[in-house]
Amino acid sequence: MLMLALGDSITYGYGASAPEKRFAERLRARFARQVRTTLHVQAKPGWTARQLFKSLQDLPPCIVEEAEIVTLMIGGNDLLRSAPLLLTRRADLIQDVMRRCEEDVERLVEWCKRPHSTFGIATLYNPFPNFELAEEVTQAYNDRVRGIALRHGLVVVETYKAFRGHEPNYVEHYRSGQFRDLRLFRNPIHPTDEGHEALAKAFFRALQRARSKERARAMRGRAARRA
């Protein structure tokens, strides 16, 4: 079975103490206990949803066509790069940012979704839980993600809920949970090893539940045809 992991620095593995401890590899290992699983990671630090989409143009088509599991966690860089607009707190500018993010993510989904794949799309966790605007923006973005999932039949992976209340342990270099904690280096954004484990658990539970439902539906369909 082929698993395709799409994303930015988090999917790439930033914050993990070793490559095998990044959440994508931990997730692959969980599925590998059931069936032999190969992982392809299409992720790079700093990528926005638009940059990730552009990178897919050079991806061999067979990878998307053959992937039975697809994971997507993207949007953090889109929001960070839009921080000057978001910090104005103007509702119209925030909505413009959200709409642009939604369009870029939806284009990714439309490019990669196949009828045979189980596709998990993640909400974003908030590394600045004590900054009210960051909380509002993260929730607004996550609502858009849930809407995309509903329209395209994707599995929502609630990483926001998995991290909520655990940020000091799950976010690398966590300080006060305020936006002012941003630095040129050692930014409190990426998951720790514990954070990557939490991500892997959240993805596995959501995807496994969906795959079990799909198998049950297939069995009922076969039984109905035999009858």
Spatial neighbors of 6 by CB under 8 A, at least 6 apart, are 42, 43, 52, 70, 71, 72, 73, 74, 108, 112
| Model confidence at 54: pLDDT above 80 | yes
| Model confidence at 226: pLDDT above 70 | no
* Percentage above 90 pLDDT, the chain: 87
Give the model's confidence band at 225: pLDDT under 50 very low, under 70 low, under 90 confident, else very high. low
CATH level 3 topology of 2-226: Rossmann fold (3.40.50)
Q: Looking at residue 212, what is its pLDDT? A: 83
Give the model's confidence band at 219: pLDDT under 50 very low, under 70 low, under 90 confident, else very high. low
Q: Looking at residue 221, what is its pLDDT? A: 64
Q: Looking at residue 43, what is its pLDDT? A: 98
| Model confidence at 215: pLDDT above 90 | no
CA distances from 25 to 21, 91, 167, 191 (A): 7, 39, 22, 14
Q: Looking at residue 223, what is its pLDDT? A: 58
What average pLDDT does the chain have?
94
Take residue 88 and report the two structure tokens written for it.
């104005």
